[in-house]
Amino acid sequence: MSRSYFLMGRSHLTALWYAWHNQAEAGGPPPQPYAHAPLVAPGTRMTFLQLESQRYEPLFTPEGAFHPEVGRALATSAAQIHVSVLGGNDHSMIGLVAHPPGFDFVLPDEPDLPLDRQARLVPAEMLREELERRIAPHLRALALLRAAVAGRVVHIESPPPLPEDHIRRHSAPFADEIAALGIAPALLRYKIWRLHSGLYREACARLGVDLLPSPLAMRDPSGIMLPFGCHPDATHGNALYGGHVLKALLEFTA
């Protein structure tokens, strides 16, 4: 069946674009290491709008609309399905580096996860509000996207936190902070990511947007990204990860 997608977003869009681009260049079934995430879907078309460009700055007009070029791209889009990869790294602002003093919180969706009693307890609601403040521009963009197009809109959950060893090897541009303070415990980073995802989940429900979770196959049992899904930096997924997301997207929208 022929389907067309319009994907827009920022840095996390890149992994998806590379997965799709590599496959397109190969001209057929994707080569290794994409064998685990075949994207064979004849007739499928994908259009990518990478907002991480000065061309689209500022993203919002003073009247609260999208940048005119983004507005035009959406107005002329004939895609059946529009996909948001907007935002998604704000959990790392708080969760990547071990901001002193050490802290922890009770994740409302999974309150029985271990709690570090030696760390400073912070209220989940307070952390939620801080994340809410940080992701507000992305949710605003998501709402504009929803309002701009007819048909189905899907938002893709941001990649899970990356493993500590990987971050340590690819710590730039956070190298100074990480060297000075260390990396936050994996469980804390996972909890913050979940809290962050919960805010997008709620926004999606309010806006009538479907949420596509990050692929379980790319996470270890503790919810951290598997090493082979990591881009050589501290926060992003790579093309293999992107391939898994695209595969999941095709299934989700089948």
Partner 1 sequence: MSHPYRQQGNEAFWSRGVAAHDPRDINPALPAPFTLSPRDKIVTAGSCFAQNISPRLPGMGLHFLVTEPAHPIFPAALAARFGYGLFSARYGNLYTARQLLQLCDRVYGMFQPREDVWSGQDGAWIDPFRPRIQPRGFLTAQEYEADRDRHFAAVREAFETMDVFIFTLGLTECWRARADGAVFPLCPGVAGGVYDPARHEFHNFTVDEVMADLLRFIDAIRRRNPACRFIFTVSPVPLVATARRDAHVMVASDYSKAVLRVAAQMAVAQREDSAYFPAYEIITSAATPHYFAADQRSVTPAGVDHVMRCFAASFTGHSAPRESFQAHDATMDRLARMEEAMRVDCDELALDPDYPHHTPLPSGRDAPI
Peptide bond into 33 cis (omega under 30): yes
**Residues at the site binding partner 1, with contacts judged by CB under 8 A:** 10-11, 14, 17-18, 20-25, 39-42, 44-50, 52-53, 55, 73, 89, 92-94, 96-97, 99-101, 103, 105-106, 108, 111-112, 115, 117, 120-126, 129-130, 133, 173-174, 177, 231, 233-236, 239
Least distance between partner 1 and beta carbon 62 (Å):
22
Pick the closer one to partner 1 by CB: 63 or 112: 112
Interatomic CA distance for residues 89 and 29, integer angstroms:
31
**Which C-beta is closer to partner 1: that of 2 or that of 208?**
2
Decide whether 11 or 84 has the Cβ nearer to partner 1: 11
Least distance CB 210 / partner 1 (angstroms): 23
Residue with tokens 């990869």: 85
Question: What is the C-alpha separation between 252 and 110, in angstroms, rounded?
Answer: 25
Q: Which of 227, 161, 166 is nearest to 195 (CA)?
A: 161
3-state secondary structure of 26: helix
Q: How far is the CB of 188 from partner 1 (least distance, A)?
A: 12
The answer for 64, left when phi > 0, alpha when psi is -120 to 50, beta otherwise, is left
Q: How far is the CB of 130 from partner 1 (least distance, A)?
A: 6
Q: Which is nearest to 75 in space by CA: 85, 65, 84?
A: 65
The residue (of 55 and 216) whose beta carbon lies closer to partner 1 is: 55
- Token pair belonging to 70: 């983004």
Compute the distance between CA of residue 113 and CA of residue 110 in angstroms, rounded to an integer.
6
As measured in angstroms, the least distance from the Cβ of 1 to partner 1 is: 13
Comparison of 18 and 190: residue with beta carbon closer to partner 1: 18
